Amino acid sequence: MNFASILEAIADEVRPSLGDGKVADYIPALARVPASQFGIAVRTTDGREVCAGDASTPFSIQSISKVFTLSLAMQQLGDGLWDRIGREPSGDPFNSLVQLEHEQGKPRNPFINAGAIVVADRLVSQFANPKEAVRQFVSSLCEEEVGFDEEVARSEAATGFRNIALANFIKSFGKLDNPVADVLDLYFHQCALSLSCVQLARACAYLCHDGRNPLCDQPVLTDRQARRVNALMLTCGTYDAAGEFAFRIGLPSKSGVGGGIIAVLPDRLTVCVWSPALGPSGNSVAGMRALELFVEKTKLSVF
Amino acid sequence: MNFASILEAIADEVRPSLGDGKVADYIPALARVPASQFGIAVRTTDGREVCAGDASTPFSIQSISKVFTLSLAMQQLGDGLWDRIGREPSGDPFNSLVQLEHEQGKPRNPFINAGAIVVADRLVSQFANPKEAVRQFVSSLCEEEVGFDEEVARSEAATGFRNIALANFIKSFGKLDNPVADVLDLYFHQCALSLSCVQLARACAYLCHDGRNPLCDQPVLTDRQARRVNALMLTCGTYDAAGEFAFRIGLPSKSGVGGGIIAVLPDRLTVCVWSPALGPSGNSVAGMRALELFVEKTKLSVF
Amino acid sequence: MNFASILEAIADEVRPSLGDGKVADYIPALARVPASQFGIAVRTTDGREVCAGDASTPFSIQSISKVFTLSLAMQQLGDGLWDRIGREPSGDPFNSLVQLEHEQGKPRNPFINAGAIVVADRLVSQFANPKEAVRQFVSSLCEEEVGFDEEVARSEAATGFRNIALANFIKSFGKLDNPVADVLDLYFHQCALSLSCVQLARACAYLCHDGRNPLCDQPVLTDRQARRVNALMLTCGTYDAAGEFAFRIGLPSKSGVGGGIIAVLPDRLTVCVWSPALGPSGNSVAGMRALELFVEKTKLSVF
Amino acid sequence: MNFASILEAIADEVRPSLGDGKVADYIPALARVPASQFGIAVRTTDGREVCAGDASTPFSIQSISKVFTLSLAMQQLGDGLWDRIGREPSGDPFNSLVQLEHEQGKPRNPFINAGAIVVADRLVSQFANPKEAVRQFVSSLCEEEVGFDEEVARSEAATGFRNIALANFIKSFGKLDNPVADVLDLYFHQCALSLSCVQLARACAYLCHDGRNPLCDQPVLTDRQARRVNALMLTCGTYDAAGEFAFRIGLPSKSGVGGGIIAVLPDRLTVCVWSPALGPSGNSVAGMRALELFVEKTKLSVF
């Protein structure tokens, strides 16, 4: 398949409507990202990397980081991780407290904020320097040093009242082992990781390589674990639009409010899109459109 | 792949624990079904049909019927169907009224009871004799005459207070066009269709044949529509255990309280399992276990 | 106190804004009631009856009937009544299903629709002809024959999908003893009773006479029961505006969508107001204003 | 009325069951209070003070403090206070976050924790030293210097994850003007005020004296404001047992998890009871029983 021409065609098709939607503006460092950027990168299991548009521009990966912290926690803890996190779609806005109260502090899945905070707590218990552990883990996945945008991390900490509320709420149920401040320090930093589409498509390659990092041929997860991450991405990866993603796109995906979306076609390829303007569900408008076009043009989806 | 020996091995493995769980007992006709039965049938896209256990015993398909009524409504109405039904997982017990109130009478998806009632309303508008239209549609899919278990239909009508409540509740929002009694008459009958595992595996073949019925080579749905039904089955098909199904099994599936589960591997095969005893989420215990074993042994899943 | 001049002053003050709000229009028989009518009647424990405006015009008492059916059920069943009904404010719109689901079919209090339906079920069990029993009970309270507006009752039955949903929902939890149709026949009729302000002020006199009907000096309830009905009216009597009523008016009150409100000053007087146009909480706009003026001018409230 | 003998009789009647229930144990300073203590004090509008049992033992007033901070905020801000707080019963456990989310950070009433936190925020804006302002306000009401139990305040701060969550949650809706830490410092201190039954009965005397402090004859609130505080206590003062309190006791009341309850009979008297062991709704078991006996014996209630 000629991915190069397909990606160029997609970039051409989405260009006229770039900027439709609304760039996340809850912190200045995100608000000032120009809305009209767009990048797309594909990495196939036979090692090809193809891209178009602003695919090498680093952006704030935000919630896409939840794929990496989940994977690292699964690697470290195995099934014990699931004692404190469910695996069901939430059916609710992504940071709702309601369900958390109803279920006594056990978040519905690791991709809502509450769930990612619980994952962060487990990593804080696991590593002497959890921020550095996560940074190194992601760096090793894409074989390049990646870093935190400290301005973003500081802003998230200064204004993230809802996440502070979430963490204290979970703590009130006795379901965080570490001090709230330590857990949130990791959480706000993981969201502030900066990567480009090309880097993200590469970093997620283990999800379509039976759990192995193809760059260094090292195991990241077991085959089964990798497939389960894919399953979670499909059912829970895109806030309360997971059903819509499955219906219209049909690829396991994880999005972030920085405008990035990573998608996986198991055993075949990863594709990462990025465009900062978001739709009402918190997902990149042009990114979703680009993935829809990708599936239309390639006939590749899990369904 | 030697499906015959795989299915026999699965039947052997689940046999010792048959009857674990609880047969649906809200109506006598279901309550008296012997718990220890088990059947499994596979139909591949190259036309092979393989089965084991009680795969030819007809059972009450219950909510599996929602796949057929949804497909018939999609065929008849196209995208107009989605004006009154969402496509998101519900995150709630399957017949909850809460979400329905929150969303002003628009059910979250066509596989919860509320959604299936709305689908039934659309079919009542579409056909002079909607029960017969559904029965003929399913019969044509498996190229055998199938029928309603009238005792089951009568019992559902006499005791289905919660579904009567649901239908009246949706009606109160102005979102049923037809009289509640007519809509429920179709709904209670579709749930009372009797098919065997072999028949169901065959009847769902269009879901892995680009929407075409392979027996008569007639289109049932467009290719895209068929894939979208698969997507809905994966995200919403198994009550509030859809995440667990995706995580552990990884196949688009639809279950019913009669103990049947139909699963689809797009472009490859359909597999139907049946065993009457249900787990806490309303899904067949042995059926789920059998599907898990099937995926383990064949390495076939969408992830 | 010169109640005659006070009531005239109130009628003068509310007159300019009569019709502000919206007459209930879910059934034609209510929708065609002229919005600009206003009546007020006071009955004191020393037997004085004073009124102003359209105080002798009968209107559909709607939910005010819940005071009478509750009282009749308390008289007949004593504390056994409370097995199936709570006594807490609902904090939710008056006919919400959410709380009912959360609390397994036990309505929060007897003044929300769900609670009144449960009360109706108990009365259906208690009387051979429950509609006639309720009609006679209310007639005896005001020593005049009162009757049902059969057109209203029929319309409620034909369009009351939400109440039908509620009743079936409660039935699904096993918490109605009688057929839904029988329970709703009573419920729709009690709401269709027609009384005037003067009649209602008289009919509720037992609530400020230690539970005795002062007209015939017969016990209706025990002293304690009567005071408890007052307590329930104060905390639960005015849909989800009970806090606002207590804060601004401070009298136990029960309102109906026909535009009537009955209020009680224990040991002193009853006051009934009526004006058909309703505010957003479903209470008569002019009626609430009139009660507020009444309390301001007389300095009479329970607080 | 011979209140002295009535209070002695009540003390005698509750003595055998003292300790039934469970002393609040979420912080050590509360957990070690002996469960079998009981005190009761009455102050009438003609200036009599009568008491029995441990009525002079200071205890942690906890949520009773919300009456004082509300009154101080009403005094300072008038109706402007209500922009950010509702006046409806919550129908939910006292510290639920659900309703807060549904209503976008506007607490339902000033007596749930969320509402009291919003009141505290307004006081932090109003006073240079808000803790001292509250302490002096309460001291002036009972004409004795009262103080904070700093151990209790520290423990609340160290373990009050749910209140920290609440405050951050409200802050996330933009509905706290001051830093969360400042607001909670006041909140945790007001809960740690120590007063005895005698002091509390005296401190609340303004609520049955047209808003005037009878000790110094100074206005605390307007007459109308005082009556409105009473109305709020009746509808919202006792967590999710407000309906039950109204039904069984019928006095405006405010309780705290320290085991105290203050009740008001408007224009007549205040009564304060205290016993540390709590029932399931978070109210003192012996305290509720004592108030019920008080109403039975005196026939005094607002209904």
Q: Band the pLDDT of C96: cuts 50, 70, 90.
A: low
Three-class SS state of D218: strand
Min Cα separation D82/chain A (Å): 23
Cα–Cα nearest to B69, from B126, B132, B137: B137
The CA distances from residue A279 to A18, A19, A25, in Å, are 12, 10, 13
Give backbone dihedrals phi and psi of B26, rounded to 5 degrees, phi first: -75, -15
Q: Single out the residue of B273, B266, B206, B282 nearest to residue B234, CA to CA.
A: B266
Q: Is-catalytic flag, B206?
A: no
How confident is the model at residue B93, as a pLDDT?
59
Contact D88 C232 (CB under 8 A): no
Stated as kind and residue range, the H or E segment containing D277 is strand D277-278
Closest of C167, C121, C138 to residue C72, by C-alpha: C138
Q: Which residue of B has its CA nearest to A296?
A: B224
Instruction: Give the tokens for residue B192.
Output: 């009372």
**For the residues D168-174, what does the mean pLDDT come to?**
95
* 8 Å CB contact of D96 and A96: no
Q: Residue B289: in which H helix or E strand, if any?
A: helix B285-298
Q: Note the pLDDT of residue A123.
A: 98
Q: Mind listing the pLDDT tens digit for each residue in C216-274? A: 999 999 999 999 999 999 999 998 899 999 999 999 999 999 999 999 999 999 999 99
The tens digit of pLDDT for each residue in B164-179 reads 999 999 999 999 999 9
Whether B158 and chain C come into contact, CB under 8 Å, resolves to no
Q: Read off the pLDDT band of C93 (50, 70, 90).
A: low
Of B90, B227, B303, the CB nearest to A227: B303
Backbone phi, then psi, for B55, in 5-degree steps?
A: -75, -10
Is A225 in contact with A79 (CB distance < 8 Å)? no
Query: Structure tokens of D262?
Result: 């203050």
Closest Cβ–Cβ partner in A91, A108, A301 for B88: A91
pLDDT in tens, A111-135: 999 999 999 999 999 999 999 999 9
Q: For residue D115, give the amino acid letter.
A: G
The set of residues, in sequence order, having a beta carbon less than 8 Å from that of C170 and lying 6+ positions away, is C100, C105, C107, C114, C117, C118, C176
pLDDT given at position D198? 98
**Amino acid identity, residue B234?**
L
Q: At a CB cut-off of 8 Å and minimum separation 6, what does C1 contact?
A: C298
SS3 B186: helix
* Backbone torsions φ then ψ of C288, nearest 5 degrees: -65, -45
Burial of residue C34, with CB atoms counted within 10 A of its CB: 0-12 exposed, 13-18 middle, 19 or more buried = exposed
A266 contacts in B (CB within 8 Å)?
302-303
Catalytic residue set of A: 63, 66, 187, 239, 257
Pair of tokens at residue C81? 């009544």
Gap from C228 CA to chain D (nearest CA, Å): 5
Strands B269-274 and B260-265, how do they pair? antiparallel
- DSSP single-letter state for residue D181: H
Q: What is the dihedral of CA B202, B204, B207, B209, to 10 degrees?
A: 20
Sorted by sequence, the CB contacts under 8 Å of residue C84 that are 6+ apart come out as: C106, C107, C118, C122, C175
Helix axes B161-172, C161-172, angle to 10 degrees: 160
User: What is the arithmetic mean of pLDDT over D47-58?
Assistant: 98
pLDDT tens digits for range D192-232 = 999 999 999 999 999 999 999 999 999 999 999 999 999 99
First-to-last alpha carbon distance for chain D, in angstroms, is: 19
Whose CA is closest to D198, among D299, D21, D48?
Answer: D48
- C131 at interface of D, judged by CB pairs closer than 8 A: no
Share of residues in chain C with pLDDT > 90 (%): 92
Give the 3-state secondary structure of residue A288: helix
Each residue's pLDDT, cut to its tens digit, for chain A (303 residues) gives 899 999 999 999 999 999 999 999 999 999 999 999 999 999 999 999 999 999 999 999 999 999 999 999 999 999 999 999 999 988 665 456 777 877 889 999 999 999 999 999 999 999 999 999 999 999 999 999 999 999 999 999 999 999 999 999 999 999 999 999 999 999 999 999 999 999 999 999 999 999 999 999 999 999 999 999 999 999 999 988 999 999 999 999 999 999 999 999 999 999 999 999 999 989 999 999 999 999 999 999 999
pLDDT at residue D292 is higher than 90: yes
Q: Please report all neighbours of B, defined by 3+ CB atom pairs within 8 A.
A: A, C
The ipTM value here is 0.94
User: Of C139, C152, C130, which Cα lies nearest the Cα of C60?
Assistant: C152
Active-site pick, B14, B23, B42, B66: B66
Residue D166 to residue A165, Cβ atoms within 8 A: yes
Confidence tier at D103 by pLDDT (50, 70, 90): confident
Nearest to D148 by CA among D138, D135, D136: D135
Count the neighbouring beta carbons within 10 Å of the beta carbon of residue B1: 15
C169 touches chain B (CB under 8 A): yes
> Which helix (H) or strand (E) covers residue B152, if one does?
helix B150-159
Q: pLDDT > 70: what percent of chain C?
A: 98
- Does residue C94 register a pLDDT over 50? no
Rounded Cα distance between B299 and B282, Å, is 26
Taking alpha carbons only, the member of C114, C128, C95 closest to residue C175 is C114
Q: Residues A180, A127: contact at Cβ < 8 Å? A: no
Q: Residue B94 has what pLDDT? A: 46
The mean pLDDT value for B28-45 works out to 96
Rounded CA-CA distance D162/D166 in Å is 6
Yes or no: say if B186 and B245 are a contact pair by the CB < 8 Å rule.
Answer: no
| Strand ranges in chain B using DSSP code E only, listed in sequence order | 22-23, 39-44, 49-53, 59-60, 147-148, 193-195, 212-213, 218-219, 253-255, 260-265, 269-274, 277-278
CA distance C282 to C144: 29
Distance CA A130, CA C98 (A): 42
Task: Give the pLDDT confidence of C15-70 residue by residue, as tens digits.
Answer: 999 999 999 999 999 999 999 999 999 999 999 999 999 999 999 999 999 999 99
Which is it for strands D49-53 and D39-44: parallel, antiparallel or unpaired? antiparallel
Q: List, as one string, the DSSP characters of D111-149.
A: TSHHHHHHHHHHHHHH-SSHHHHHHHHHHHHHTS--EE-
CA-based R_g, chain A, Å: 18
Per DSSP, the three-state class of D229 is helix
**Token reading at B7:** 């299915």
Contact B116, B110 (CB under 8 A): yes
A270 touches chain B (CB under 8 A): no
Shortest CA distance from C91: residue in chain D: D91
Report the residue of chain C nearest B98, measured CA to CA.
Answer: C98
Four-point Cα dihedral B198, B202, B208, B212, nearest 10? 180
Mark whether C67 is an active-site residue.
Answer: no
Is D143 an 8 Å CB contact of chain C? no
Each residue's pLDDT tens digit, B88-124: 988 665 456 777 877 889 999 999 999 999 999 999 9
